[in-house]
């Protein structure tokens, strides 16, 4: 799983019932202090859903969207397991690393 996929899955997890494309994009930009493109979020959301890591459904129409519906996302059990594996891999790699220093 790529770092961006992991961050998108984490954003969906944190947003819970408010996880839709624009809210995921906003959360990622605020949390990472990086610029994310709309396509850089929407395409992975669709791909992660096709892979079974997310499930999606259409929400209710909202007035602020002119009556249009939002596509809402939620992690599946496979998505949670993928995040847990990713976290365990990072923790394993960082184990016994007290500090990084650069000496050319």
Of 52 and 97, the structure prediction assigns the larger pLDDT to: 52
Structural domain boundaries of the chain?
3-85
d(CA 3, CA 72) in angstroms, rounded, equals 22
Classify each residue of 55-72 as buried b or exposed e, where b means 16 or more C-beta atoms within 10 Å of its C-beta: ebeeeeeeeeeeeeebeb
The pLDDT value recorded for residue 65 is 63
For 3-85, which CATH class? mainly alpha
For range 64-87, the mean pLDDT = 91
The pTM score is 0.86
For residue 28, report the phi and psi dihedrals to the nearest 5 degrees: -65, -45
């Amino acid at each position: 799983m790529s770092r961006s996929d992991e961050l998108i899955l984490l954003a969906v997890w944190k947003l819970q019932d408010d996880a839709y494309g624009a809210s995921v994009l906003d959360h990622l930009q605020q949390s990472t202090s990086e610029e994310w493109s709309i396509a850089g979020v929407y395409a992975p959301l669709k791909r992660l859903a096709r892979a079974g890591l997310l499930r999606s459904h259409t929400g209710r129409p909202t007035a602020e969207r002119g009556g249009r519906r939002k596509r809402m996302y939620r992690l599946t059990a496979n998505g949670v397991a993928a995040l847990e594996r990713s976290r365990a891999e990072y923790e394993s790699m960082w184990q016994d690393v007290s500090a990084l220093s650069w000496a050319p």
